[in-house]
A and B are shown apart, each in its own frame.
Chain A
């Protein structure tokens, strides 16, 4: 079945450092891919998405490219801020249903220190 694997955290960076959070997936067909972010004490928020191969999703300085050849959707940001400290979830659409079900990775905690 479909699945998502994220790099284990926590990832600890200094402010203004470059961020990469790895995400790889296993899926049949052509799923859409997502990154969600969860700030402390809040629900998950959609950060960015890509719906087909080679698409690049971007938002708030974050970006990720849908790589079908490597089945990856790595999240990157050129210069992180303390306010980016959160848990990041990679997800893909479950092609076995037409109801919007998503398959989530286990989440990666990012801690940014001033």
Chain B
């Protein structure tokens, strides 16, 4: 079975540009989570979905961030406009069994 797939693995962009991160969860999983990891703030939960419905987006830092899950096999996290402080590693994770999350390899975002 393929694990959680994220793309791109690395993204370098200029301040003000739109950034879209993509995630394909493990087939059959019904919950999907977006995290951000930085040295300063550690691992932060941004938003999570259950059965494609956003359940809690209280971790989304501001309106520049948005996330969608149009179907069970795809989700996006969009930042518009991007800022240097958005530089981080963004992880997607999915789960089926209660509480056991499987993480993707992450997208390393650098905003200059």
Contacts and interface: CB of A to CB of B under 8 A. Distances in A.
Interface of A: 32, 34, 36, 42-46, 49, 89, 93, 97-102, 104, 106-107
A106 B42 contact: yes
Contacts, number: 58
B12 interface: no
Interface residues of B, number: 22
Interface string B78-112: 00000000000001010100111111111000000
A100 B95 contact: yes
Contacts of A101: 33, 45, 48, 55-56
Given A43-B105, A97-B56, 8 more contacts: A44-B91, A93-B98, A101-B56, A102-B99, A104-B43, A104-B45, A106-B42, A107-B42
A34 B55 CA distance: 22
B50 interface: yes
Interface of B: 4, 31, 33, 42-43, 45, 48, 50, 55-56, 91, 93, 95, 98-106
Q: Is chain B's interface secondary structure helix, strand, loop, or mixed overall?
A: strand
Contact of A99 (B48, B100, B105): B48
B99 A100 contact: yes
Contacts of B104: 43
Nearest to A46: B100
A34 B91 contact: no
B103 A44 contact: yes
Contacts of A97: 55-56
A49 B98 CA distance: 12
B55 A99 contact: yes
